[in-house]
Amino acid sequence: MSIQRYLFLLIISIVTLATFGAALHGYRAAMSELEMILDQELVSLAHSLTSVKSTEVVVKQENQTPFAYQVWQNQQLVVRSSNSPEIPLTGFTQGFGYKNFLGARWRVYCQQFAQRWVMVAQRQNQRIVSAERVLLTSITPVVITIPLIGLLVLLAVRTSLSPLRNLSKQLKAKSADELEPVALVKNSKELEPIVDTINSVLARLKSSFAREKRLASDAAHELRTPISVLNIAAHNLVSSYQNNSLTTDSFEELQQGVERMAHVVEQILALNRTSPENFNHCLVALDIQSILQSVIAKLYVRIEDKQQTVSLDSQSYWVKGDEFSLQTLFENLVSNANKYAGKGCEIKLSTQLNGQELCVIVEDNGPGIAVAEREKIFDRFYRLEQARQNTGVTGCGLGMSIVKHIVELHQGRIALEQSVLGGLKVLVFIPLAQGAQRQSNGS
């Protein structure tokens, strides 16, 4: 059943029941009032008969006359209407009662005046007819009004549900690839949260599809190079084997190609895992100092291979985040410093409070990045010219894009500056977990 039909039937049922309930109450009140009026009529008739004088004992009346009467004096019938019996209509007791005669039910009233007893009666069906007239008079306007109320209710329900119908039409008209937000010309407050939720879902879907499409296109383009390199290396290896001229250079070339391919795949998987759709919204409190120590330990062999020094100046600061994502973030930053700062360079990690944020700083004394190119390195698959020319460095241009993406997932921000050490300085601002400052002060 549609909402419109349900509301219409519900409202009409309530209105009808309430109307007829009120009419029934009015009928009962009218009947009570009418009963009093008709009884008063009998009393008045009895008073008017106290002084009646007639030469005839029986006064001629039609049998269908609604009233009958008797006047008794000293137990003798003095006067009676022709439609009343010769026996007393009721006992000689003052008050009202009922009596059956002439094949009908009568309302009887008896009253004593001096030596006379006056008895009057009225047909009960006459009273019922009068009550029915009152009921018909009161109920007729109600019966006539209910259809009009029904039309007004239907119009009101249809008008109230028109925004919902418009929303339904827009959603039905959308194709599978149409993800534009819906908009109602005539909106209502109740539908605003629904429309906002639908538009939010459509926006996320649109963003997700665009991101996946761009990622697939860029990944396919970026993987083409290492695949070609692998094909060439494999061909050279086969040729060298056939010519009996195998050297370690052929295997090193193949190894570099495999490493590059593995790095690209690893970064693409990390980027996909940290997408909003897969991000763990049940974040937990994490100690940044512990995460930075873990990153340094994981990359220490690479740092040693390049005769670099690494230092950490931090204490326990707690943030609310996803452990894998933060590990990936700082691992990419330290790995970039390790790869591009140069042999024998210095890498420094430090933390400092910045209001309700924690600032994590990664800096080195390498060549740094020109100001004009600092924003570009956050683009996917973008690599600096010197990085592309350095064939000894494995990279695909996804690292800083992943870093910025993870920072945004944690409602943080990232900035690039010139380090006092001479190289690049990366500042990552992440909101502190609730009570993190108190924990740090107490530690």
User: Domains in the chain: how many in total?
Assistant: 2
Q: Is a pLDDT exceeding 70 seen at residue 441?
A: no
Residue 289 falls inside a structural domain: yes
Amino acid at 210: A
Pick 218 or 8 by higher pLDDT: 8
Please report, for the domain that includes residue 123, its CATH number.
3.30.450
Question: Measuring CA to CA, how many Å separate 1 from each of 34, 150, 164?
Answer: 46, 18, 16
3-state secondary structure 248-311: HHHHHHHHHHHHHHHHHHHHHHHHHHCCCCCCCCCCEEEEHHHHHHHHHHHHHHHHHHCCCEEE
CB atoms within 10 A of CB 379: 14
Residue 275 falls inside a structural domain: no
Range of the domain at 349: 281-442
Residue 331 falls inside a structural domain: yes
Is the pTM value of this prediction over 0.75?
no
Residue 285 falls inside a structural domain: yes
Q: Measured in whole angstroms, how far is the alpha carbon of residue 293 from the centre of its chain? A: 43
**Euclidean distance between CA atoms 260 and 172, whole angstroms:** 47
Q: In the listed set 86, 121, 154, which residue is the last one of a domain according to the structure?
A: 154
Partners of 309 in beta bridges: 346
Q: Are 189 and 160 within 8 A, CB to CB?
A: no
Q: In the listed set 130, 154, 178, which residue is the last one of a domain according to the structure?
A: 154
316, two tokens? 């326990």
Tell the burial category of 312 from Cβ atoms under 10 Å away from its Cβ (0-12, 13-18, 19+): middle
- Over the stretch 72-114, which tens digit does the pLDDT of each residue have? 888 888 888 888 888 888 888 889 988 888 788 888 999 988 7
The predicted pLDDT at position 438 comes to: 43
- Over the stretch 280-291, which tens digit does the pLDDT of each residue have? 555 788 999 999
Task: Quickly state the pLDDT bin for 443 (edges 50, 70, 90).
Answer: very low
- Over the stretch 59-72, which tens digit does the pLDDT of each residue have? 776 656 788 888 88
- Over the stretch 29-62, which tens digit does the pLDDT of each residue have? 877 888 888 888 888 888 888 776 655 567 776 6
Q: In the listed set 154, 181, 208, which residue is the last one of a domain according to the structure?
A: 154
